[in-house]
Amino acid sequence: MTMVRHTIQFFGNVQGVGFRYTACAVAKHFDITGYVRNCSNGSVELIIEGTSRETKLFLDSLREKMSGHIEKVKITESQATAEFFGFGIR
């Protein structure tokens, strides 16, 4: 299967609300790798790699759990690099 990489920025009330920990908890249920981190501009950056199906299912689940906090999402897709082993917080 073809692997993809998504770089996602979440904007809104996304810091200090358990967003990163929720992302880690949700990631355990999907075959994805990458990380989540807070950014200095108040957004949360998420970089994930996996199949198109797994990344979509993961993002749908995360958006559902954090829907009250997300105002805007910016997604960039590129080729996977296979540089990650597991998913974590940075």
Question: Over the stretch 28-77, which tens digit does the pLDDT of each residue have?
Answer: 999 999 999 999 999 999 999 999 999 999 999 999 999 999 999 999 99
pLDDT score for 12? 96
CB of 19 closer than 8 Å to CB of 10? yes
pLDDT score for 42? 97
pLDDT score for 14? 96
Domain of 61, in residue numbers: 3-89
Total domains in the fold of the chain: 1
pLDDT score for 68? 93
Q: Identify the CATH number of the domain in which residue 47 sits.
A: 3.30.70.100
Report the distance separating Cα 31 and Cα 17, nearest Å.
25
- Its sign, for the CA torsion 28, 14, 90, 36, is positive
The residues assigned a catalytic role are 20, 38
